[in-house]
Amino acid sequence: MPIVRFETADTETHTAVGEGLTRLVRDADRLVVDSSVGKYAVEHGDGCGECGEHVAPGDAFYLDGDTGEVLCERHGRERRGET
Residues that bind Zn ion (CB under 5 A): 48, 50-51, 53, 72, 75
CB of 3 to Zn ion, least distance (A): 13
CB of 73 to Zn ion, least distance (A): 8
* 51, 75 Cβ separation under 8 angstroms: yes
Nearer to Zn ion, 41 or 71 (CB): 71
Nearer to Zn ion, 25 or 49 (CB): 49
Q: How far apart are CA 59 and CA 20, in angstroms?
A: 21
Handedness of CA 34, 35, 38, 43 (dihedral sign): negative
Phi, psi of 15, deg, nearest 5:
-140, 130
Do the bridges between strand 14-16 and strand 61-64 make them parallel or antiparallel, or are there none, so unpaired?
unpaired
CB of 74 to Zn ion, least distance (A): 5
Nearer to Zn ion, 33 or 51 (CB): 51
